[in-house]
Amino acid sequence: MAEGSRKFIKLKIKAQDDTILHFKVNPSTIMKDIFMSYSSKKQMMNYKVFRFFFDGKRLSPKKTVNELGLKNGDEIDAMIHQDGGGSACNY
């Protein structure tokens, strides 16, 4: 247990402009903590403006690094949320 907690893995978070931030995390860290620290580095108050993906899969903020199966050196994509409308068909 003590040994496990000492083991850190490195994660990269890549923004849409290709800038990469590196994070050193514990496998039992909850993703939300990583997201929050990323957001504060990006001067965002709320981590929910970002969506985080690994290989196209959404990362849940409630899970831990281990639960999501993230390995050392994995690259996470951070994307800003998307909003949009449609058009009601008024023929």
Binding site for other proteins (CB under 8 A): 16-18, 46, 48, 51, 53, 55-58, 60, 62, 77, 79, 81-89, 91
Alpha-carbon gap, residue 74 to 82, rounded angstroms: 24
- The half-sphere exposure of 11 on its side-chain side, counting CA atoms within 13 A, is 26
Which residue's CB is nearer to other proteins, number 4 or number 73? Answer: 73
Least Å distance, CB 42 to other proteins, is: 14
Look at phi and psi of residue 85 and say left if phi exceeds 0, alpha if psi is from -120 to 50, else beta. Answer: beta
- Minimum distance of other proteins from residue 50's CB (angstroms): 11
Of the two residues 5 and 60, which places its CB atom closer to other proteins in the complex?
Answer: 60
Report d(CA 65, CA 73) in Å as an integer.
12
Nearest approach, Cβ of residue 17 and other proteins (Å): 6
Task: Give, in degrees to the nearest 5, the angle at Cα 26 between 35 and 62.
Answer: 45
Nearer to other proteins, 8 or 79 (CB): 79
